[in-house]
Amino acid sequence: MNKYIITGEIDTLSFSDIRRPRQICLLDSGLKTIEMIWTTEKAFSFEVHFSGIYLIRIITSNGVESEQTVYVKKSSLKLPVFQPNTQSNLSSKKHLALDPDTFIRYGQVSSRKKLDSTFSGFEPLNKKKGLVRKEKALTGKVGAVPKRFLSKRNLIYISILNRSDERWSERQLASIPFEELDGKFALVDFDSKLNENLIVINMEGVESKLICCPDQSRLHIRLKYLADVVKGVHPLSAMLTSDYFKAETLLEMMNNGAMVEAQSFAVSGQAEDLLRDKITNPFAAAVGGYYLLKSRDLERMHDWANNLANWFPAFSDGAIIHAWQMIQEGQKCQSVIRQRLLEGQSRGIPIYTEGVKLLYEGLRQLSSISRSQDNEVEEALSIVSMYFENLDLSCKNTTINMHSRILNGWLLPEKLLGKPSKNID
C-alpha cells in the first residue's frame, strides 16, 4: 500500500495565543473528515494512502480558522505555513464598537461544498496533465447575505446583561451592519464584567439570540450568516468562546460527541484538575464536572461538585452537576436531588448546553416519579421546557433563539433568569 506524508506548520503568533489548543482536520475531496487531532504544537503531520485532493483545516477553540487545499502525488509534501483567515481590526469601522474594550475583526467565510482547483502554491488539476476534475467549481457566493437584509437599518446589536445590586442592567457592546457579513464572518472580542452572564444579539426581522457566558472573562463571538438554511434554523450563527483554553477544548469535544478524543485530551486528570480549581474558576470547574459525568468517572469528583454548588449560589451549573453525581451514583437521597434540580432552575439558565440538557432530563424524571403531582417540579419543568425547546444544540454555551415578544414576556422576569444577586463589598 502506498504511503504519503503531509507535514505542515502553524504561525502560532498569528493564531492569537500559542497556549490555545487547535483542532487540525484532514478532509477528503468530498469534505469528509479522515482524521482529526488536537494539539498545541507548532508542527503537525498526516499519513494518507491515496494520491489526490485533500483539505487541511485548522480551527482554534476561539473560532479562528485557516485552511489549505493540497494535491498529494509524491511520497512527502510540506505545506506553506498556515495563517488565520482573519483581517486586522478595521479602523474605518470604529463606530461599530459601542464599548471601548470591544474589538471587531473580519475574515472570509469558507464557501466550499466540495474542493475546487484553487491551490496555495500547488498544481491545479487540468486536462493537459491527464487529470480530469470530477467536482465542478462552485458558482456564485455561498453565504452571501440576501438583499432584504442589506439596508442601513439592518444592524446586528450585541449587548450583555448584568444582574447585580438586585436589578438588571444592559451594556451595549457593538452594532454590526448585516452587509459586513456578506461573504465574511465577524470576530467580536470583549471582556465580561462581574455578574455579566447573558449576551443578547438582536436584529430586525429574525429571532433574538441569547448566549450564556462566564463573567469576568475575555470572550469572543464569531458571527456568520448561514445561507440556504433549512426551515426553522436561525440564519445567524454565533459561536462563543473564552480564554479558558483547556476547558473550552474539552467542552467542544463533548458537545460534538467526540468522547474518544476528549478522553485522550483529558489524560493525566485534567478534568479533575479543572474541578479542583473551582474557587479560582468555577466555570472551568463546571466543564470538568460535566466531563466526569459524561465519562462516568465519578471517583474523581469526590465532594467537589457539592462544594461548587454551595460556594457559588448564583451558579446553576454547580447544582445540576451535584444532582447528577448523586443520580449516577445511585444515592437514595431523592429529596436532596430534588432540591439541587430546583436550584438549577431557580438560579437562572445554565451557562452550558450540557447543563440545560441534564436539568431538563432530571426534572422530567422527578415529574414522572411524582406522577406530575409535585407543583414546584412542574413549574420548574415548564420554565426549563420553554428555553430547552428553543435551544441551539450545536453550541456548547447555552444559546437560545427566541422571538422578541417571548423575550419581553418571559426572559427578563426573575423566574426564568434567576434573581439578580446583591453585590457584597
Does residue 193 sit in helix, strand or coil?
coil
Q: What's the mean per-residue pLDDT of the chain?
A: 76
- CA count, 13 A, side-chain hemisphere, 162: 15
The answer to whether the CB of 349 falls within 8 A of the CB of 416 is yes
399 belongs to a structural domain: no
Same domain for 105 and 228? yes
The answer to whether the CB of 48 falls within 8 A of the CB of 4 is yes
Same domain for 370 and 301? yes
Same domain for 140 and 258? no
Q: What angle do CA 115, 118, 124 make, to 5 degrees?
A: 100
222 belongs to a structural domain: yes
Confidence (pLDDT) at 144: 58
360 belongs to a structural domain: yes
Same domain for 106 and 231? yes
272 belongs to a structural domain: yes
Same domain for 59 and 144? no
Name residues of the chain where pLDDT drops below 70: 12-20, 60-64, 84-97, 108-153, 164-167, 227-233, 258-279, 403-425
Looking up residue 10, the CATH number of its domain turns out to be 2.60.40.10
Confidence (pLDDT) at 323: 96
403 belongs to a structural domain: no
The secondary structure of the chain in percent helix, strand, coil, rounded to multiples of 5, reads 30, 30, 40
Confidence (pLDDT) at 91: 35
Same domain for 137 and 11? no
Confidence (pLDDT) at 134: 29
The answer to whether the CB of 218 falls within 8 A of the CB of 189 is yes
> 350: burial class by Cβ within 10 Å (0-12, 13-18, 19+)?
buried
Same domain for 235 and 372? no
CA dihedral (288, 290, 292, 298) positive or negative:
positive
152 belongs to a structural domain: yes
Confidence (pLDDT) at 192: 92
List pLDDT tens digits, range 3-12: 999 998 887 6
In this structure, which amino acid lies at residue 330?
A: G
Q: How far, CA to CA in Å, does 366 sit from each of 59, 161, 349, 378? A: 40, 31, 19, 9
Confidence (pLDDT) at 151: 53
419 belongs to a structural domain: no
Per the structure, how many domains does the chain have? Answer: 3
Confidence (pLDDT) at 369: 94
Same domain for 238 and 90? yes
> 69: burial class by Cβ within 10 Å (0-12, 13-18, 19+)?
buried
Closest CA relative to residue 17, chosen from 187, 243, 219, 217: 243
The last residue of a domain, from among 85, 118, 141: 85
Same domain for 306 and 352? yes
The DSSP output letter for 152 is T
402 belongs to a structural domain: no
- Determine the straight-line distance between the first and last CA of the chain, rounded to whole angstroms: 69
The last residue of a domain, from among 243, 276, 291: 243
Same domain for 205 and 271? no
Confidence (pLDDT) at 11: 74
Q: Which range marks the domain in which residue 270 is found?
A: 245-389
The last residue of a domain, from among 211, 243, 275: 243
Confidence (pLDDT) at 366: 96
Same domain for 99 and 231? yes
Same domain for 265 and 165? no
